Structure 1
Amino acid sequence: MRKSGDAAIAAVTVVALCAGAWLLGGGSGTGAPPQPSPAQAASGTGPETGASAAPALAPSPPDRVRIPAIGVDAPLTGLGLTASGSLDVPPPRQKNLAGWYEDGVTPGERGTAIVAGHVDNAEGPAVFYRLGALAKGDAIEVARRDGGVAVFTVDAVEVYAAAGFPDEKVYGAAARPELRVITCGGGYTRGTGYQGNVVVFAHLTGAR
């Protein structure tokens, strides 16, 4: 287990996001969600976009997340931990709802803030269905209760098998304001659902 803010999150973080209920029910139309290409992975040499980091913001709970490149504009609900230490998830029936880990740092504070949401539900694609289509340099905006908006720039988009989820890389402490956005991804089977997670890595580049 690793620390994010003041509480630990188990490596099995978002297993409850990953049943693939829509596809299990014979989902049609657009089919499986997009997955990130190798070109969007981190190079390991620091910020990928060349965008400089903005100063950290004062703590303020977030109200909404917007990701213009993939058409996301969704309210945020607070998430805690389950009894097993994994991150709880938003109610699956509310397909346009994401959650943030409220025992960690708030988006825009120094450290690693966590946002998670479903890729689908029994009725079809959900809030982060197209998360894997994001690219380096795309913007993520988080509206905060103090009236401000924290603007993050995507550094990398990666997909991990559940068995090899890198909890330190995803949840580890950061010296600057960073954001992780997480949903299900990777291989899919009707027997197991999605077999991994898509993770977006971003850092604060502005505020308004």
Structure 2
Amino acid sequence: MDRPPPARPGRMLRFGLAATALGAVLLYNSVDAAPVGTPTTEPAVTTAAVPTPAAPLQPPAKSAPGLSRSAPTRVRIPSLGVDAPVTELTVNATGQLNAPPVDDKNLVGWYRDGAAPGQAGSSVLAGHVDTKTGPAVFLMLRLLLPGSKVEVDRADGKVVTFTVDSVETFAKDAFPDDRVYADTPDPQLRLITCGGSYDRTKKDYTANVVAFAHLDSAR
């Protein structure tokens, strides 16, 4: 099945009070709640609007060929001890990416209108760093090292493995939408969560942590 045209939200996943989605501004509702012990009125999961697709980026030197479209069902990051199911994420009426439910700390969200993991393009997976009840699935994402592997199970039975190229932290008011959400010609993966310090006034984190990875293999 061919990949559908890129969605047109605004800027993507700024995971916090602003997150952006592919093609428009998919500002991800802060996928985190306040630090443990910090009361919040609502889940700290923010979104950025979804941006217009940027010019394609050059593929990584060792990127594997892309696959047909198939939804992800589970994500594993062995080096961080992550093994979590995947749910679909959509954007709301204002173009912000809805965050994964906060009642399940071990749950990762996939932006379903973007590329599927293993398909040509930038696939986006988002997860909370914490919730009101404690640490969550992407708590340690900022510690992921280049060369680390990320495995994604797909509904078609295939398992795609990505190799991490870099892990970077961006202030939410200076989020590089074009770089994170570019419609790449090869299969790439973005893992996103909140980072930086916690703003008690806004009940949100000040930054986003983004892991950039390319497809290594499929089986």
TM-score band (shorter)? 0.7 to 0.9
**CA RMSD, 1 decimal:** 2.1
**Equivalent in the alignment of 1:164:** 174
Paired residues, what number?
185
Bigger relative contact order (CA 8 A; separation at least 6) = 1
Are positions 1:198 and 2:196 aligned together? Answer: no
Q: Which moved more, 1:5-14 or 1:73-82?
A: 5-14
Distance 2:96 2:108 in 1: 16
Distance 1:154 1:23 in 2: 32
Map Cα deviations across residues 70-109 of structure 1 (whole Å, 9 max, x no partner): 0100000000001111111110110000110111111000
Distance 1:7 1:23 in 2: 37
Q: Which moved more, 1:186-195 or 1:60-69?
A: 186-195
Distance 1:46 1:146 in 2: 25
State the Cα distance separating 1:23 from its structure 2 match: 4.6
**Equivalent in the alignment of 2:45:** none
Contact kept in structure 2, 1:188 and 1:195, CA below 8 Å: yes
Which of the residues 181, 188, 191 maps onto 2:198? 188
Contact kept in structure 1, 2:167 and 2:212, CA below 8 Å: yes
Residue segments in structure 1 that go unaligned for 5+ positions in a row: 27-44
Distance 1:25 1:177 in 2: 39
Contact kept in structure 2, 1:177 and 1:203, CA below 8 Å: yes
TM-score, length basis structure 1: 0.83
Match of 1:195, as an amino acid?
A: T
**Equivalent in the alignment of 2:9:** 9
TM-score, length basis structure 2: 0.79
**Equivalent in the alignment of 1:179:** 189
State the Cα distance separating 1:130 from its structure 2 match: 0.5
Are positions 1:84 and 2:88 aligned together? Answer: no
**Equivalent in the alignment of 1:139:** 149
State the Cα distance separating 1:10 from its structure 2 match: 2.6
In terms of fraction of residues, the more helix-rich structure is 1
Matches within 5 A, 1:150-161: 150-161=160-171
**Equivalent in the alignment of 1:20:** 34
Matches within 5 A, 1:93-132: 93-132=103-142
State the Cα distance separating 1:18 from its structure 2 match: 3.9
Question: Equivalent pairs: percent with the same residue?
Answer: 48
Residue segments in structure 2 that go unaligned for 5+ positions in a row: 12-17, 20-27, 41-57
SS in 2 for 1:9: coil
**Equivalent in the alignment of 1:207:** 218
Match of 2:87, as an amino acid?
A: T
**Equivalent in the alignment of 2:83:** 73
